[in-house]
């Protein structure tokens, strides 16, 4: 999970953030995400996230919002819109 938390694709990082097997240290690092709201949202709601990280994120996230749970279709669409190859 720690290795995947540094993946360039936000869909992969969201999957790490939502996974209940992700270590607290990894979640704390993901909580520093600058651009993807979904990553921050899932870190804030993961029970393994350290309490101070969770509380800080919840204070700073807009109230009444939620993120879309990542799925394979999101990943496929992300790659379809990229210039990257699967090679």
Tens digits of residue pLDDT in 10-69: 999 999 999 999 999 999 999 999 988 899 999 999 999 999 999 999 888 878 777 877
Residue 23: C-alpha distances to residues 15, 17, 43, 52, 78 (Å): 13, 10, 11, 15, 26
Cα distance between residue 64 and residue 60, in whole Å: 12
Write b or e for each residue in 22-47: b if 16 or more Cβ atoms lie within 10 A of its Cβ, otherwise e. beeebbbbbbebeebebbbbbbbbbe
Cα distance between residue 85 and residue 87, in whole Å: 5
* pTM tops 0.85: no
Instruction: Tell me what pLDDT residue 80 has.
Output: 62
């Amino acid at each position: 999970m720690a290795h995947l938390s540094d993946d360039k694709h936000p869909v992969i990082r969201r999957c790490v953030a939502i996974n209940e097997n992700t270590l607290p240290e990894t979640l704390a690092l993901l909580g520093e995400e600058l651009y993807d709201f979904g990553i921050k949202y899932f870190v804030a709601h993961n029970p393994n996230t350290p309490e101070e990280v969770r509380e800080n994120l919840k204070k700073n996230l807009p109230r009444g919002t939620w993120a879309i749970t990542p799925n394979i279709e999101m990943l496929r669409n992300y790659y379809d819109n990229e210039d990257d190859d699967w090679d």
